[in-house]
Amino acid sequence: MVSEEILAAFRSLGDLTGTVSDVLDQLGLVGAVPAAVLKPSDPAARIAGRALTVLNRPRRETVPEAVATKRSGLGEIQAHRLAKPGDVVLADECGVCFVPAAKAAEVAAIARRWSAWEEERLRKLADGLPLDEFVRLKRPE
């Protein structure tokens, strides 16, 4: 089971699903659904919790904690193939990410490193770093 500490690490990210979807891509994991596919009903809401799955006849749907079945529409995009019970579900104005429980600690650690790097990078830009140098700054692995 994914610990509260790992969920808190995800919640601390400024760009929740944007950063995590990049990490998932880097690790070769499929699990991001953009807001263009699954439009949020409340763009200000942020969710980071464990996935619950239910079997509804005649179709299967994945229901993240605090997201109602009728609202989610996740069955339409076959989210039941993206998440298993206990996996991490993240959602914000940019979309939804499903992180396998077994990879949650690794994904959270990388996402926090990348988020800190982005904050530092933006601080340098605000402090006067020339744009051509800014765009050459490399993200940590």
Residue-level pLDDT at 131: 92
Q: What average pLDDT does this structure show over 26-31?
A: 90
Rounded Cα–Cα distance for residues 47 and 49 (Å): 6
Rounded Cα–Cα distance for residues 140 and 101 (Å): 23
98, HSE (Cβ side, Cα atoms, 13 Å): 22
pLDDT in tens, 51-92: 876 554 444 444 444 344 334 444 444 555 667 888 999 999
pLDDT above 90: percentage of residues in the chain: 48
Residue-level pLDDT at 77: 47
Q: What average pLDDT does this structure show over 2-9?
A: 95
Residue-level pLDDT at 51: 86
Better-predicted residue by pLDDT, 64 or 18: 18
CB 96 within 8 A of CB 109: no
Rounded Cα–Cα distance for residues 88 and 6 (Å): 9
Rounded Cα–Cα distance for residues 31 and 77 (Å): 11
CB 109 within 8 A of CB 103: no
Ranges of each domain in the chain: 4-134
The one-letter amino acid code at 56 reads: N
Rounded Cα–Cα distance for residues 121 and 123 (Å): 5
Segment among 32-41, 99-108, 111-120 with least mean pLDDT = 32-41
Is residue 108 scored above 60 in pLDDT? yes
